[in-house]
Structure 1
Amino acid sequence: MRIPARHLTCVAPAHTGGLLALCALDPVSGVCLAQQVGRWRSWNDGDVVALGRPARPAGAAWATGSLLPFGLAPRPGLGHDGAARRQVQALAEHAGARLTRNGSVYGPAADVAAVWPHLADCGLRSREERWVQPLLVAPQETGALIRDAVRRHPAVGWAAESLHAATLGEEELVLPASIDMFTGEVGYDPTSAGGAYARHVNWLVAARRSYIVVDDGEGHPPLPGGPRRVAFKVDVGALWNPVPGREGGVAQLTGVWTRSDLRGRGLASVALAAAIEAVRARHVGARGTVSLYVNDFNTAALGLYGRLGFERAGTFATVLL
């Protein structure tokens, strides 16, 4: 499909400066798109588009099997006017032909809300719409978080020391946990569509971005040579430093999961507090921002994040196709 002039422009990997400047207006919300365009050295023509001029886009998107828009809606407090209606329509026409079954439209809720009606006009139908996904930011005092969590749940205090970035060779432990997390969250087994999901999990492990706690299968530290299972996991799903070389990157956690037989024991509180500290130490620096988003109907998760002192920074939305 030819992209209409003036409305959309294909962005090449060497010309992402304007797009990244757009994301930098709100790095906590923009980290997802910034991560996508920074992860690959090349992509197919039309995978990344700018609404308007690439040097100063009115909006932008990653448009492959899923659509990740950013900047479509105005941000008056940030001096951003948003995209024109015809530009958003052009994005919908372009992305509609690329979206796949079991894909999604996700990102800041206002941007998803701007483009979804036009996608629906193009004939797309949703499997589920999640319009209120609070975007939360972790507190800075991580050391105190760990101490408080261990004090409240001393029986699982060992999890704080056990948490580590999964290493090569642990992929076979991580994959079943990741599949269980994804299936429970999205509603289908991601490996049923081929090997892409397993490759993604392997990439996270190779990049030292999948953090796990391993137990003996019964909620205790594993013994040498004994059984080992993943008790808790969380991934650094998106990572970006808006000002390279300066401390203060942004990480977005995804895939937070606790094995079902261990829920309600406080293990997630201890392990997640340790994970936040580990992500700051390894990825974003002491002044960095660690965020995540959660479904508003997931009361257990909201309770966990509230007890750990997460504060709301915005709203995401996801339309499942």
Structure 2
Amino acid sequence: MRGLWEGPASGDVRVGPGAGRVLGEQDLARALAVCGRDPVAAVLATARLEQATLAGLRRVGGQLWGYEVDGTLAAICWAGANVVPVVPDPTVRADALDAFAALGRAQGRRCSSLVGDAAVVLGLWDRLQPAWGSVREVRADQPSMVIDGDPRVPADPAVRRSTPDEYDLVLPACVRMFTEEVGYSPVGGTGGAYESRVRSLIRDGRSFVRLEPGASGPQVVFKAEIGAVAGGVAQVQGVWVEPSRRGERLSESGMAAVVAAARRDLAPTVSLYANHYNERALAAYRAVGFRQVGTYATVLF
């Protein structure tokens, strides 16, 4: 069965002179090397490429686009449920984005978002917008932050990995976070993609919670996930605090616990990105020891 992006699994598809092309299995090592030039900005693409190295591009459910200069791969773009362009060299950015936009226009929009380095994502969107049409929201300024040492605040000892039998507690918190952040519910049914994603993160030990007694039983008051692990980077996603408990610094001590566990078990560098207007969250991350190293952007369809 073909993945989300139909098309040849390898090589020589071109859209006009000098355009990019669809890459194949034989190009994965070179593509990972491109991502390795900026592992924090590229972590979402790197995660998919590492999966493809093990399972194959078709099984991962996307296409890999590439742009070459004199036979050297200079830029790549993962095109799946999310489109993630990676262009580490700004001197080739314009030509690489022209190439990726040509491929995107030819195939049509099949993704739910564009995400990654802000200059690259926004440049690609400028080129695609006339063909791809309406967009729900453009988040152009999302500070990209990292921590690669011990947290500056004590870790909350009550924050731990969630367990499979706690799925029915974790899923509602995840849905509330997503709906609050994006504006609609991600739930598509018991076997939906979002529900499956939550289950897999719990199963893989990448879902963290703090549970406390509630009126009808245990409830999640803090949660976070390690959404991507690749290239020596663990990216935290889905940080959420129960609204009635905000202002108690649960996010600071909770994130300290997540960072310590992630650096111990998953990767030496922990990253995240957040909207620039979420000043409370950014202040909490800085208190933990995160520092800004770049800017992400997200285009939501």
Name the TM tier (shorter chain).
Answer: 0.7 to 0.9
Residues 60-95 of structure 1: CA distance to partner in whole angstroms, max 9, x if unpaired? 112123311111x7346xxxx335154133233245
- Return 226-235 or 124-133, whichever deviates more: 226-235
| Matching of residue 240 in structure 1 with residue 218 in structure 2 | no
Cα shift at 1:123 = 3.5
Q: 1:64 to 1:114 in 2, by over 3 A?
A: same
Equivalent residue for 1:273, pick from 256, 265, 283: 256
Residue number in structure 1 paired with 2:285: 305
Residue number in structure 2 paired with 1:74: 89
Three-state SS of the structure 2 residue aligned to 1:228 is: strand
Equivalent residue for 1:228, pick from 189, 211, 218: 218
Task: Identify unmatched segments of 5+ residues in structure 2.
Answer: 1-6, 8-12
Residues 250-296 of structure 1: CA distance to partner in whole angstroms, max 9, x if unpaired? 11110011111111112111111111101111111xxx111100001
Three-state SS of the structure 2 residue aligned to 1:302 is: helix
Which one has a larger percent strand, Structure 1 or Structure 2? 2
Equivalent residue for 2:170, pick from 167, 174, 178: 174
Three-state SS of the structure 2 residue aligned to 1:57 is: strand
Give the whole-Å Cα distance in 2 for the aligned partners of 1:98 and 1:53: 27
Give the whole-Å Cα distance in 2 for the aligned partners of 1:55 and 1:233: 46
Residue number in structure 2 paired with 1:58: 74
Q: 1:250 to 1:268 in 2, by over 3 A?
A: same
Give the whole-Å Cα distance in 2 for the aligned partners of 1:86 and 1:26: 21
Cα shift at 1:3 = 4.2
Task: Identify unmatched segments of 5+ residues in structure 1.
Answer: 148-159, 219-225, 242-248
| Matching of residue 138 in structure 1 with residue 147 in structure 2 | yes
| Matching of residue 36 in structure 1 with residue 48 in structure 2 | yes
- Aligned residue pairs: how many? 283
Letter in 2 for 1:22: V
Letter in 1 for 2:81: G
Residue number in structure 2 paired with 1:253: 236
Sequence identity of aligned pairs in percent?
A: 32
What pairs up with 1:3-18 in 2 under 5 angstroms?
Answer: 3-4=14-15, 6-13=18-25, 15-18=27-30
Q: 1:65 to 1:187 in 2, by over 3 A?
A: same
Q: 1:54 to 1:308 in 2, by over 3 A?
A: farther
4+ residue segments displaced more than 6 Å:
none
Letter in 1 for 2:89: P
Q: CA RMSD in A?
A: 2.4
Q: 1:58 to 1:262 in 2, by over 3 A?
A: same
Letter in 2 for 1:213: R
Counterpart contact for 1:23–1:31, Cα < 8 Å:
yes
Three-state SS of the structure 1 residue aligned to 2:220 is: strand
Residues 287-316 of structure 1: CA distance to partner in whole angstroms, max 9, x if unpaired? x11110000111111121122232110000
Residues 179-230 of structure 1: CA distance to partner in whole angstroms, max 9, x if unpaired? 1111111110001487010001111111111111111127xxxxxxx92111
TM-score (norm 2): 0.86
Letter in 2 for 1:278: A
Give the whole-Å Cα distance in 1 for the aligned partners of 2:220 and 2:157: 15
TM-score (norm 1): 0.81
Cα shift at 1:14 = 5.0
